Structure formats: C-alpha cells, structure tokens
Amino acid sequence: MKNLPLLPAKANFSVISIWFCAVAFMLMAGAAQAQDEGEAKKSVRPVRNTFESIWLIDNQTVMVPVKGTFEMDIQHRFGTIDKGYDDFWGIYAPSNIRIGLNYVPVENLQIGFGFTKFRKTWDFNAKYALFKQGRDGGWPVSLTYYVNAAIDTRDKANFPENTYEGTDRYSYFHQLMLARKFSKAFSLQASFNISHFNFQELVEGATPEELLQKNNDNLSLSFLGRVKVSSGMAIIAGYDLPLTDHEVNNPEPNLCFGIEVTSSAHAFQIFLANNYNIVPQLNNMLNQNTDFLIGFNITRLWVF
C-alpha cells in the first residue's frame, strides 16, 4: 500500500478546522470579557457539581474547575476481556495509557495537553463553559464547548512510503455539550461531536480502493448519566452513537458503565467499555471493538 490517495477536500477542511478553532477561541475570549463586565449584575448562582470530574469515562463533561486549578489525569485501558483467564480478562494484555495536564487560567476556560501510548499521540485541548445552569432561575442547562488537535508522532517506518508527512499526522475534534442537573443525585448530558482526520491511512487494514470510500470526517452523538448513591460514590454510564455512514469500516458504538468515587481533590472511575483509544476522535472515528475492556480514570486537583 504505497502512495495512498487523500481525499481532495483534505487541505480545505484543515484550513476550515483551524479557522473554526480560531473563531471559537475569539468567542471564548469575548465571552470571558463580557462575563467580567457583567459580574456585578449577576444574581443567579450556578448549580454545583453537575458532574464530579471533567471526565466521565471516555467523554468530557460540561464541568470546568475554578480559576487557578491545576489538574493531572491518568487514564488507563486494559485489553478486552474476551480471552478470559488466558490474559486474566485483559489485565495482562497490551494496555493503552494517557497522561494529561490541564490548567484553568481564567474563569470558565480550561486548557491542557496529554500524551497517549497508542499511536504516540499528543493532544492539545481547550474547554469553555459558555453557560451554566442556575440554582434558582437563570439558565435551565449548562452549555460547554470542547476542542482538541492531536498529532500522531510515530516514526515514519510505521507507515507506507511517502505517506504520513506534515499535516497528514493531524486530527481534530469538536464537541458541544449540553447538561442538566435534575437533582442532587441525578445528572444527564448530551453532546454533538465532529471528528476529522487529515489522512485516510488511519483506516487500518483497508485497501486503496476502500480508502476512497472512507470519509475523513465523522459525526456522532454522546450521552452521559450519573446517579449518586452516597456523598462520595456514584453509578456512571455513557453511550457514543456514530452518525456518519462511511460505507467501509464504520465505527462501532461505545457503551460504557461503572462506578465513580470522589473527594474534594480526587476522582476515581472504574468501568467496563469497548473503547480502547482514549483520544476522542480516535474513539469516535476508528473504534472497531465490540468486546468490553476494563478501564479506569484518576484525576488529581490542586488550586493555586
């Protein structure tokens, strides 16, 4: 498989995606300024802890920590459980790990980056809380926007000749999240997602002819839920639904569920899921896995 073709719209979409990110950041800055100017006029307090973490299994939540928060994330995915005792239900199978760092420099804006073992992927991300659900009056829901750009940094020896150079390694993800805290114990979130890859070789095992049938872009929906069973423990679940028909190698939906244990500065989630990739565009675009695996997330917060 040499000199694999790219979609003609590749460069155009890359420019559009970069432009979209630039506009989004300008909107974030404008919204932050407007928020500062209207601070004295605000009387409606936002609800607290729609979710306990910025993560709920494989998805971001609407939550942005308070200004000055520094956060470290450790996300771990074992192998699938289908081989049973042979690899101890995936625990001794090859794993995927992401380590991420985030910071909140101004109110409602979080920026961060991370490195993932699979594909040696670096991702750079930002999240802004556009609106927050009010306690008495105000907005009935919370609305948050998340964006990232990721770079596959594997050596060229891993790819066919004359491929995977420059922007071929880039991928992007946009997510608009809408959530509501219905009670002290029950919260729901829905989001609309856009994933984009610059290069079609990311379709594993496809022939050159099949690559022409694979879109570089993927649309999806995500749904998250949390039910607290005590002050520090909750049952969590999520579902990712692909919308784009690729005609070849369509991504599989992801179903995940587990338990979350939290404190003022920590969140620990252990769960079953069929997403191995961690980076959201990889999960939404390339997931071919139908078997469950064990995973966990750990977050640690410091406020300066």
- Do β-strands 109-116 and 121-131 pair in parallel, antiparallel, or remain unpaired? antiparallel
What CA–CA distance (Å, rounded) separates 241 from 220? 6
Q: Tens of pLDDT along 229-284?
A: 999 999 999 999 999 988 778 899 999 999 999 998 999 999 999 999 999 999 99
Closest CA to 59 of 221, 232, 301: 221
Comparison of pLDDT for 33 and 58, the residue scoring more: 58
Closest CA to 128 of 142, 114, 146, 140: 146
Tell whether the model's pLDDT for residue 125 goes beyond 50.
Answer: yes
Q: What is the phi/psi pair of residue 169, to 5°?
A: -85, -5
Whole-prediction pTM:
0.84
* Average pLDDT value for residue range 121-131: 97
What CA–CA distance (Å, rounded) separates 198 from 89? 35
Whether residue 96 contacts residue 111, with contact meaning beta carbons closer than 8 Å, is answered with no
Bridge partners, residue 109, by sequence:
106, 128
Instruction: Say what the pLDDT of residue 130 is.
Output: 97
Q: What is the phi/psi pair of residue 236, to 5°?
A: -125, 155
Which residue in the block uniquely carries the two structure tokens 């940094």?
153
Q: From start to end of 231-263, where are the E strands?
A: 233-242, 254-262
Domains of the chain are 10-39+67-303 (2.40.160.40)
User: End-to-end alpha-carbon separation of the chain, Å?
Assistant: 52
What CA–CA distance (Å, rounded) separates 83 from 114? 30
- Do β-strands 59-60 and 142-152 pair in parallel, antiparallel, or remain unpaired? unpaired
Helix, strand, or coil here: 226?
A: strand
Q: Where would I find the H helices in 58-156?
A: none
What CA–CA distance (Å, rounded) separates 275 from 18? 27
Closest CA to 47 of 146, 189, 225, 184: 184
Residue 155 CB neighbours (<10 A)? 8
What CA–CA distance (Å, rounded) separates 276 from 287? 8
Question: Range with the lowest mean pLDDT among 10-24, 146-160, 173-187, 277-291?
Answer: 10-24
Between the CA of residue 227 and those of 103, 109, 185, 235, 271, what are the distances in Å? 27, 26, 5, 5, 15
Q: Spell 92-127 as b/e; 16+ CB within 10 A means b.
A: ebebbebebebbbebebbbbbbbebebbebbbebbb
Q: Tens of pLDDT along 131-179?
A: 999 998 889 999 999 999 999 998 887 776 666 677 888 999 999 999 9
Which residue in the block uniquely carries the two structure tokens 């390339």?
286
Residues 78, 84, 88, 93: is their CA dihedral positive or negative?
Answer: negative
